[in-house]
Copies of this chain bind each other. A is one copy, B any other.
Amino acid sequence: MTMAKTTKSELFEFDHPCPIRDVLDRIGDQWSLLILKSLEHNAMRFNSLHREIGDISRQMLSRTLKRLEKDGYITRTVYAQVPARVEYALAELGISFLKPMNTLIQWADENHQAICRARKRQN
């Protein structure tokens, strides 16, 4: 008997029981936040994002952008010119998200030292 295997992420794609888990499973990864912060003050193209972030792989940049777009955090605009010009920009949801996120970033800035000290203390 063959089973149409359902992965956890498929299972929870819609109507995740816990909002914050749903949000953080997406946004709390390695790269999403960095991308959103890069777009905070101006729209950007694929390759300039790649250069700005530096250590992200093209594949992960591509994937993460798609997810952010799908969830409504960013928009993707293709300009019909040659060579193609694709611009990524914050959508309403992304702008709104960065407000609470920025308070968290501020906390991180203020407490980074304390965390580093804690780490060193314990070897």
Residues of A within 8 A of B (CB): 13-16, 19-25, 27-30, 33-34, 69-72, 93, 96-97, 99-101, 103-109, 111-112, 114-122
Contact = CB atoms under 8 A, between A and B. Distances in A.
Given A29-B28, A118-B93, A19 B112 contact: yes
Contact of A25 (B13, B30, B103, B109): B30
A103 B99 CA distance: 10
Main secondary structure of the interface of A (DSSP, over half): helix
Contacts of A28: 24, 27-29, 33
11 contacts: A14-B119, A19-B105, A19-B112, A22-B108, A22-B112, A23-B108, A28-B29, A69-B122, A72-B119, A97-B111, A100-B104
Contacts of A70: 118-119, 122
A10 to B, nearest CB: 12
A115 B100 contact: no
A111 B92 CA distance: 11
Q: Which 9 A-B pairs have the closest CB atoms?
A: A72-B118, A28-B28, A19-B112, A23-B108, A20-B108, A100-B104, A100-B107, A100-B103, A19-B108
